[in-house]
């Protein structure tokens, strides 16, 4: 599962489409190690296997697919492209089968 303390244990290494990207070791992301995308709505790309329930169920369309060719779990990921629109319903956290998503209610 995603580390809920990632804001303390991970390092911000990049910004991408308006949100942060974090890795556990502070190293740049690679094809095989994509890190966590987002902050308020965070998706661990290295756990996401493209189930898609988060995209289907989010009432305000926070997520968009992005391509991650060569990643061992899946070659698309649910990117929290509109995390600023999140209404903290927690549905995505509940439906993800691999607990790849962490939402910090504000």
The listed partner (ligand F3S, Zn ion, ligand SF4, none) that binds 50, CB under 5 to 8 Å by sort, is: ligand F3S
Which range in 4-12, 17-25, 30-38, 51-59 contacts ligand F3S by CB under 6 A? 51-59
Report whether 23 contacts 33 (CB < 8 A). yes
By CB under 6 A, residue 100 contacts ligand F3S: yes
> Mapping DSSP to helix (H, G, I), strand (E, B) and coil, where does residue 94 land?
helix
By CB under 6 A, residue 90 contacts ligand F3S: no
Report whether 11 contacts 22 (CB < 8 A). yes
- Alpha-carbon gap, residue 90 to 23, rounded angstroms: 24
Which parts of this chain interact with ligand F3S (CB under 6 A)? Answer: 43, 48-54, 78, 95-96, 98, 100-101
């Amino acid at each position: 599962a995603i580390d809920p303390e990632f804001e303390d244990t991970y390092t911000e290494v990049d910004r991408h489409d308006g949100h942060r990207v974090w890795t556990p070791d502070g190293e740049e992301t690679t094809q095989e190690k994509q890190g966590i995308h987002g902050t308020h709505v965070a998706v661990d790309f290295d756990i996401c296997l493209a189930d898609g329930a988060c995209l289907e169920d989010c009432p305000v369309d926070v997520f968009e697919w992005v391509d991650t060719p060569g990643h061992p779990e899946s070659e698309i990921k649910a990117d929290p492209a509109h995390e600023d629109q999140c209404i903290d319903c927690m549905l995505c956290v509940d439906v993800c089968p691999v607990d790849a998503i962490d939402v910090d209610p504000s």
